[in-house]
Every structure is written in C-alpha cells, then in structure tokens.
Amino acid sequence: MEAEKEAAKIIQEAEEEAKRIIEEAEEEAKRIVEEAKNAPVEVSVMENVEKEVAEIVHRAKVKAEELRKVASERINSLVDEVVREVLEGEWGGSS
Amino acid sequence: MSGEEVVSVDRDSEAIVRAILKMAEDRANAIRKEAEKRAKEIIESARKEAEEILRSRRERAEREMREEIARKRSAAEVEANQIILMTKSELLREFFRKVHEKLASIADGQEPGWNYEEILTKYSLEGAKILGEKEIFLMGREKDRSLLEKVAKKLEKEGIKASVDERTVPVIGGVVVRDGKDERRYYNTFDGRLRAYREAKEIEIIGRLFEGV
C-alpha cells in the first residue's frame, strides 16, 4: 500500500510538472505572438521620395521660368502681328 | 512459517515495491517527455504564427509605403502641372492685355503706321454694306465723335447717308453701324473683333508663344 501511494505521488508530481511545462510554453507562445504584433516593422524604401517630389516641383519651376523667358522674347512681335490680324482680318462684324 | 520462508516473502515484497515504483517512474518520465514534446510544438507553432504576423505586417507596411510614395508623386505632378498651367495662363493674359493696350493706343491715334480714321471708314462701309442700307447711323466712343463726323461725310461720297448717333458705346475702338429705325445693328468694334479672334485663334497663339519649351 505504501508503494502504491508513493507511485501515485510520483505520477501526480509528474503530471503537475507536465502541466507547468505546458502552461509555461503557452505563456511563452503568447509572448512570442504579442512581440510579433508589437515589434517595429522596418520597410526598406529604395526611393528617396521627398527628394524626388522636390525635384518634380523644381523642374516645373525651372520650366515656368523658361516659359516666361521665351514668351517675353516672342510677345512683342506677336502682339504686332495679332493686332494687325484683329484689325484687318475677317473677325469683325456681328449683326 | 520457517525462517527461510519469511526471508523469501520479504524479498518478493521488495521486488514488487521496486517494480511498482519503477513503473511509476517510467510513467512519470513518459508524462514529462510528452509534456516537453507538446511544449516544443506550442512554441514552434507560436514562432510560425509570429513569422506570419511579421511577414503580413511587413507586406502591409510596404504596400502602404508604396501607396504613400505614389500619392506624393502624384500630388507633386499635379502641383508641377499647376505651376506650368498658371504660368502659361498668366503669360497669355499678359499677351492679350498688351494686344488690348495696343488696340486702345491705335484708337487714340498714338501708333505710327495706323490710321484710325481709315479703320473707322472701312468698318463703317462694311457695316453699311452688310446692313444693305442707304441711310445709317454710326455709334462709337464719345471721343471719336468728330472722327465719326468725318467718316460720315466720306460715306456720303459713297452714296450712303450717314449720321453720328447721339448715343455712345463703351468700347476700345471701332464702330457700331445701325439702320435708321435701330432695328438692326452691325458691331464692328475692336472689342468684338478681338473677342472673335481670341475664340478662333487662342490655341494657335498658345502654341506660338510657348513652342519648343
């Protein structure tokens, strides 16, 4: 009877230890999953988008300046031509 | 029971006890082993789940980053287009402002190479022809009244009875020709001609102003 009690105690202790091992594993599993949920995610950005965006706008400003320069060179002669066309062309008259 | 028999029974009992304890130890070891195996599986499963979570979060972050980049690029392109369009629009306004200014200057007789009186005569004749009237009235700017009087006299030489209307019109220059009853009018003003010209030729003018840029 003593041996059976001792055997039962050994098994019970083993079962309790097993339960503790599983519970610890489950706790560790929860921690691993939570860590994955909250860990910072690094994304490698190949393009420097801010620089590219600034470059697009800068190019437009440069082009706008070029437009001003070219147009101001052409405006005066074109004004004379257009004034002549307006006054002498077939644009007038509505009744 | 003899002494030898007592010794034999004790030995059997000890053997049974040892066997019972051995079985218990074996069972305990099996329980621990099974628990450790299960624990490893739980951890392994959690690691896989964590990897999947990280992969999914990374993919999402990359997708959001790509979308953000596309949005920024698109906004920059819109801004760039607006800069160009606003510049073109401003230059086109400036161009037509200069045209307007020059027309006003011609109407004020301040442009060499242009004879405003001749222009008014030509426009008035055109108006008379279009209306098909032998008696017409000329309407223009207040400051053109004396010029229009001269034009009226010229038209009379062409067989057209022309008078200057008491009323004036707020225009840059040019003339409005009307019949005697003021039922029909022919607008031959600088303003109208410029408007018609602009409607017909603005795209061409834009092309010529900014060609090659």
Residue B146 is assigned to a structural domain of this protein = yes
Residue B98 is assigned to a structural domain of this protein = no
Distance from CA of A48 to the nearest CA of B (A): 9
Residue A2 pLDDT exceeds 90:
no
Closest CA to B39 of A24, A34, A11: A24
Residue B13 is assigned to a structural domain of this protein = no
pLDDT lower than 70: segments of chain B = 1, 6
Domains of chain A, residue spans: 1-37, 48-87
Residue A61 pLDDT exceeds 70:
yes
Residue A95 pLDDT exceeds 60:
no
Contacts (Cβ under 8 Å, ≥6 apart) of A13: B28
pLDDT for the residue B153: 96
Give the residue-averaged pLDDT of A22-51: 89
Residue B33 is assigned to a structural domain of this protein = no
Provide the number of structural domains found in chain B: 1
Residue B54 is assigned to a structural domain of this protein = no
Nearest to B188 among A24, A37, A92 (CB): A92
Residue B22 is assigned to a structural domain of this protein = no
Q: How far apart are CA A33 and CA A49, in angstroms?
A: 33
Q: Is A78 at the interface with chain B, CB within 8 A?
A: yes
Residue A44 pLDDT exceeds 80:
no
Looking at beta carbons, which residues of chain B come within 8 Å of A62? none
Q: What is the CATH number of the domain that holds B189?
A: 3.30.2320.30
Residue B71 is assigned to a structural domain of this protein = no
Residue A76 pLDDT exceeds 60:
yes
Range of B157's domain?
115-210
The interface predicted TM-score of the complex, written ipTM, equals 0.76
Torsion of CA B84, B89, B91, B94, to 10 degrees: -160
Residue B175 is assigned to a structural domain of this protein = yes
